Every structure is written in C-alpha cells, then in structure tokens.
Amino acid sequence: MSLTYLLLAVALLCAVSFYFGRQRAVALSNGRYSNLHSLPAHYGMYTALWCGLPALGLLLVWMMFEGTIIQTMIVADLPEEVTSNSGLLSLALNSISQIAAGGGEHLTVSPEIVEAGHRLANLNTIANAALIVVMVSVALVGLALSYRRISSEMRARNNVERLFRYIMIVCSAIAILSTVGIVFSLLFEALHFFGKVSPLDFLFGLEWSPQTAIRADQVASDGAFGAIPLFVGTLLITLIAMFVAVPVGLFSAIYMGEYASPKFRAVAKPALEILAGVPTVVYGFFAALTVAPFLRDNGAVLGLDVSSESALAAGLVMGVMIIPFVSSLSDDVMSQVPKSLRDGSYGLGATKSETIRHVIFPAALPGIVGAVLLAVSRAIGETMIVVMAAGLAANMTVNPLQAVTTVTVQIVTLLVGDQEFDSAKTLSAFALGLLLFLITLGLNVFALKVVQKYREKYD
C-alpha cells in the first residue's frame, strides 16, 4: 500500500534528519556540550520536526482535497445530459471508478464514460506520483533549511518546546473540531432536507412513512416525514428502561454503599460493572432471541397479544444495560452527602434505613435527578438494542406490548445500504440525527449542571 510506504519513508527521513542535526550540533560543540545552547538531541529533534511536520501537513491537506478535485475534473469533461441529472451522474461516477480500478468489462456504458474511466486511472497515477515527489521534496527542503540554521547559539530547545506546545494545542482543539464537524455535517444535510419537507411537518407531523417514489412515474406515496411517532416510540422504550434501571440501580447503590460488607462489595461491584461492559449488540441479540420470544409465549399463556418486536422486550433489556450506569452515578452522589448529616440522624436515634430515606436521599435528590437524566439521554441515543429488537413500523401507541420504532432505528434503516444523497428519505436521517444530537446534548448539559450545583452545595 503506497500510503504506508510513504509514511514509512517520511519516518525514515525524520530519523535521518535527527541523526544529522545531532551530529552537526556535536561537531559545533568542539567536544564540550556546554558550548551549545541546548542539548545535541534538541538540535536533532529540531531538524526532524522541520523535516516531518510540513510533509505530514501537506499529506493531510492533499488527502482532504485530492478526491474532490479529481472528481471535479472528471465531471467537467462529462456530457451535459449526464451531469445535469444527479442520479445518472452518481451512476456514471460509479462505472468510471470501476473502470479506473481495472474492472468494469461487463458494464455497458458509452465511450465517453470508458474514456473518463481511463482518464481517472491516469489522473490517479499522476496524483500518486506527484504526492510522493512533492512530499519527499518538502521533507528534504525542511531538512536542508533547518540543518543550515543550526549554530551553537541557536535556541533549539526553546524552538522544539514551542512547537511541542503548538502540537498539543492542536490536539486539544480536535475536541472542538469534532463537535463543530458533527454540528455542521448534520446541519448541512438537515437543511437540505428542510428544503424538501417543511420543518413544521417534520417536527409535528403524526405520520412517518419515508418510502418515496424512486421514479417519477412510480405509484407510491409521497412519503410522510412526521417525527412524532418516532419520538413517542423512543420515549416509550426509554420509560420502560427507566422503570427497570432506576429502582434497581438506586437500591443496589444504596445496598452497596450502606449495608454490604467489603467482601460482598468486592465481588458484586465488578459483577455489576460487567453489565456496563457488554457490547450493545450482544444485548440486542439477547433481547431479540431470548427476551422477546419469552414475553410472547408467556403473553400468549396469559391471553395477551404480545408482538414479537414488542417495546417491552427492548425496554427491559435496555434497562438492564443502564443499571450499572444509574447505580455508579447515584453511588457517587450519595457518598458525597456530608457525614455530619448522617451522624446527626443517627444521634437522634434513627435507624439506618430511616437515615437513608429521610436524610441522605432528600439531600442527594438533585444529584440523583441529574444521574437519571444522564441515563435517559443514554437510553434515547442507544441504537443496537432497538435496531435488533424493536420494530420498523411507526405505530403511534403507548402500549408496551406492541411494536414501536425509534429515532435511532430509523436512522439506521434509512442509511444502511445504498444511499442517494438527494432524496428526502436519506436526508431525513440527518434531520433525525440533528434532533437526537440536540436532545441528548440538552439533557446532558442540564444534568451536568444539576450535578455540579449539587456538588458545590456540599463542598
């Protein structure tokens, strides 16, 4: 793979420059390192950084724009009737890249496309060769320039450390960058979507059936994009999950914190944490293949009509998944209640449970509410359990025995497989994603604020 070799070559060049820079500094020192401003290794690092960093930066920029630029060049040469229709265009681009990759003999396409395919292959080869030449020369120029600047007075250490600092700042900024990336990528496609479907219909519509006609002459519904049924389904499953997770999580936190012997805790606590470490896809499989049939069969015995994709199955299993989350957060919160409150209660003759119920729990309530809100936000964003165990049809129901669908299920169904980026169907997934992101973000910010405020109260 050429990229790997390229990176290896740059790494090798860096190592060579380190050696050269160090040698040069040693030579300049006349045998006494105290003649130098910095340690010889700093001079080596100085040259190595100036050799490697510009080359890597170039590679990054190149990789970001190479595909787009080449594609624009190819598209510019295609006939008008292909480029004007986005569906045809993506089809044509697909065949072109297949031909360029050396395949596509079975394709029946016009000679322009075949030619474009060969041109693409050609351009790719040129681009690769150019990248290698440009990168190596940038590295060498960096090496040469920094090598020449080395002198015994040069402040190599300060230079290297300043650079190190900049690199660290860039690394920290990546956290901001990814948030910005999330917001913009969701917003961009969501705005596309809102150009086709009015935001009001989306937010307050009561019907969700995203199947749109693929061809103009096809008989199909226009597609209804009302997100309310999805949110009803999401909330129903979340609610069921909370019915399991909050009491079980809270009581196990209380028992672990107040009653359990150290020995019991040493065993039970890690065991509970295993529940948090199990991948969600495993829970999904468990919900779909064990819990759902169990509920259906038992429901049939009781005369209840339980759907095999019932909200109950998904919600119960999701609740189990969230137990350790609730338990560890509320454990944190309750252990922060000052000892004086506890002692005061015991001093008045209250039993342990009376102290917990009437002193510790009310005092910790804001923190516990925060913890539950964080758990809710996690349940809303949970994907695999509902994808595997909940249904696809958007039923507006609060009956936990029926199948409902959720926001995340719809995002996955809309985007798995081939996508067309100009249909409302595909774009609606991004609008849902944006909504999901905003809701979970809002919940988190609010919950963290509550917890923070609570902490300050007892600090």
Partner 1 sequence: MTDMASLMEDRAAAKVISGNLHTPVDWDSPKLARNIKKRYAAERRFKIYGLSAIAIALLALVVLGYSIISKGYSAFFQTYVQMEIFFDPAKIDPDGTGDPAIIGRANFDGLIRDALSKQFPEVSGRSERRDLYDIVSGGASYDLRERVLENPSLIGQTRKVWLISGDDFDMLNKGYISANTDEGDRRLNDQEVGWYNTLVSQGSVEKQFHTRFFTNGDSREPELAGIWGAAVGSFYTLVVTLILSFPIGVLAAIYLEEFAPRNRFTTIVEVNINNLAAVPSIVFGLLGLEVYLNVMHLPRSAPVVGGLTLALMTLPTIIIASRAAIKAVPPSIRQAALGLGASPVQTVTHHVLPLAMPGILTGTIIGMAQALGETAPLLMIGMVAFIVDIPGGALDPATVLPVQIYLWADSPERAFVEKTSAAIMVLLGFLILMNGLAVYLRKKFERKW
The smaller minimum CB distance to partner 1, of residues 8 and 27, is found at 8
The smaller minimum CB distance to partner 1, of residues 224 and 291, is found at 291
Least distance from partner 1 to the Cβ atom of residue 175, Å: 4
Least distance from partner 1 to the Cβ atom of residue 285, Å: 5
Least distance from partner 1 to the Cβ atom of residue 275, Å: 6
Least distance from partner 1 to the Cβ atom of residue 374, Å: 7
The smaller minimum CB distance to partner 1, of residues 169 and 302, is found at 169
Residue 192 CB partners (closer than 8 Å, separation 6+): 422, 427, 430
Least distance from partner 1 to the Cβ atom of residue 182, Å: 5
Neighbours of 275 (CB within 10 A): 15
Token pair belonging to 280: 């969600």
The smaller minimum CB distance to partner 1, of residues 140 and 441, is found at 441
Least distance from partner 1 to the Cβ atom of residue 399, Å: 24
The smaller minimum CB distance to partner 1, of residues 206 and 276, is found at 276
Least distance from partner 1 to the Cβ atom of residue 348, Å: 8
The smaller minimum CB distance to partner 1, of residues 397 and 440, is found at 440
Least distance from partner 1 to the Cβ atom of residue 429, Å: 7
Report the distance separating Cα 170 and Cα 159, nearest Å: 17
Least distance from partner 1 to the Cβ atom of residue 325, Å: 11
The smaller minimum CB distance to partner 1, of residues 311 and 427, is found at 427
List, in sequence order, every residue forming a beta bridge with 225; answer none if it has no partner. 208
The smaller minimum CB distance to partner 1, of residues 310 and 355, is found at 355
The smaller minimum CB distance to partner 1, of residues 110 and 351, is found at 351
